[in-house]
Amino acid sequence: MRIRGCAAAIVAVVALTGSVATSAAAAPGTDRGAVRQAMQEVIAAGATGVQIRIHDESGDWTSSAGVAERGRTEGVPTDGRFRVGSITKTFIATVVLQLVAEGRFQLDDPVHRYLPEFGLDPRITVRMILQHTSGLRTHTTELNPDGSYEPGLVDDLERTYLPADTVRFVAAKPLKFEPGTSWAYSNTNYVLAGLLIERLTGTPYAWQVYLRIVAPLGMWRTELPGTGREILGPHAHGYLASPGEDATLVDVTRLNPSFVSASGEIISTTQDLDVFLAALQGGRLLPPALVAAMRDFHPVESIVGYGLGMAQYAFRPECVAQGHDGRMPGYTSKMYGTDDGRARVTVSVTEGAPDPLSGAFAVAVMRLLFTALCGPAGSGMPAVGTWWPIG
């Protein structure tokens, strides 16, 4: 079970008995009312609950809205743990870049050199898998031009999936495009990155994340559960619509995250993610040249770019945010900070809408992020359209 099997006692004790985050009083002139209103709009759009942490010139502030579990009245804990989804990719990319800094390999080395058993195109480099320019398809689902989904490998949220089998599944398919010529988000890229870490260090990638990031930063409520199904300690429940015309919401809080492994398995809190983002932006985890490489953004849409495990939203000239989105069944998350270091925001939304990736729900979640980082959302907020590719 990777980290869970090795440090379950520490994780459980801290998760169950750790102090509750408290909201710092906002400084005079700082308007939190717009953020609270944006949170209520997320609930109205179909979320079950939402929690947020903001760090800015006014200090640290936390709040929540909605309920932790449908059918009950308890609110969402502001120190609750949740599945961060693809924010995991920023952790994995950081470890890969630390190995680059140590001279273990170079960003433009072919992945095939270190993982020859998968028969990957030799043109695919380490940089390409971190930036999603490899051309590899994603093992979860593939969105077709007509908007339909091509079935992927994942068919059961309780089943254990092995990372090597995941890569073989994708490696047998034609590339989406020639390596390095375009961009397409693929969870399989980061499953490969996890295997690359293991090949170069001789230890599970989860251990490397724990030893290099979690332990040094004291992020004791962050966990890589491997095949562990439970979220330990205070948490809100996530829901997913069952398939079929008469869709009903199913509680998917308990699941086996091995289907995403290094591309999305982490469980954390808004506080721990804020600590991680602050350390990353502050240069505590990587040397300046590799921080710059992480922030070398490949254009995706008009206001979105993707670097090496880090995304960028250029909401407007004076408000550019860098970090990552995340999604797991039942959970949507955000971890972003302004590029000038003025503000950081981490958000967890527990889903309850039948279609959480489109329509009013997507608009409301992005409006919340925009409001928290850039001020009250109005005409200055870009329209949420096809630029919802990350997470």
User: What tokens appear for 106 in the block?
Assistant: 């170079």
- pLDDT reading at 23 higher than 60: no
Q: Which of 23, 63, 86, 186 is catalytic?
A: 86
When pLDDT is averaged across residues 264-275 and rounded to a whole number, the result is 98
Cα 11 versus chain centre, distance: 20
Asked if residue 380 is part of any domain, the answer here is no
The residue segments making up the domain with residue 110 are 3-374
Beta strands in the chain (DSSP E): 49-56, 59-66, 82-83, 142-143, 149-150, 239-241, 249-251, 267-268, 298-301, 304-306, 311-316, 319-328, 331-338, 344-350
Q: At residue 160, does pLDDT exceed 70?
A: yes
Q: Which residue has the tokens 């004791």?
A: 220
The pLDDT value recorded for residue 384 is 55
- Within the chain, what is the greatest distance between any pair of CA atoms? 60
Instruction: Give 129-157 pLDDT, tens digit per residue.
Output: 999 999 999 998 765 555 455 566 667 88
pLDDT at residue 14 is higher than 70: no
Rounded Cα distance between 108 and 91, Å, is 20
Residue 381, in any domain of the structure: no
CB atoms closer than 10 angstroms to residue 102: 9
Q: What is the pLDDT of residue 301?
A: 80
Q: How many domains does the chain have?
A: 1
Instruction: Decide if 156 is inside a domain.
Output: yes
Confidence at residue 4, expressed as pLDDT on a 0 to 100 scale: 43
Residue 390 lies in a domain: no
pLDDT of residue 58: 87
Amino acid at 55: H
In a domain, 367, yes or no: yes
Residue 105 has pLDDT above 60, yes or no: yes
pLDDT at 6 over 80: no
- The yes-or-no answer on residue 358 being catalytic is no
Sign (positive/negative) of CA torsion 156, 161, 165, 167? positive
Mean pLDDT (the chain) is: 86
| Residue 87 domain flag | yes
For residue 213, the model assigns a pLDDT of: 98
Say which CATH number the domain at 278 has: 3.40.710.10
Q: For residue 386, is it within any domain?
A: no
In a domain, 364, yes or no: yes
Give tens-digit pLDDT for 33-60. Answer: 999 999 999 999 989 999 999 999 889 9
Residues in the chain: 391
Q: What is the mean pLDDT of residues 362-378?
A: 86
Name the CA dihedral angle for 221, 223, 228, 230, rounded to a multiple of 10 degrees.
Answer: 30
Strand partners, 54: 61, 345
For the stretch 318-349, pLDDT in tens is 889 999 999 999 999 999 999 888 999 999 99
d(CA 140, CA 126): 21
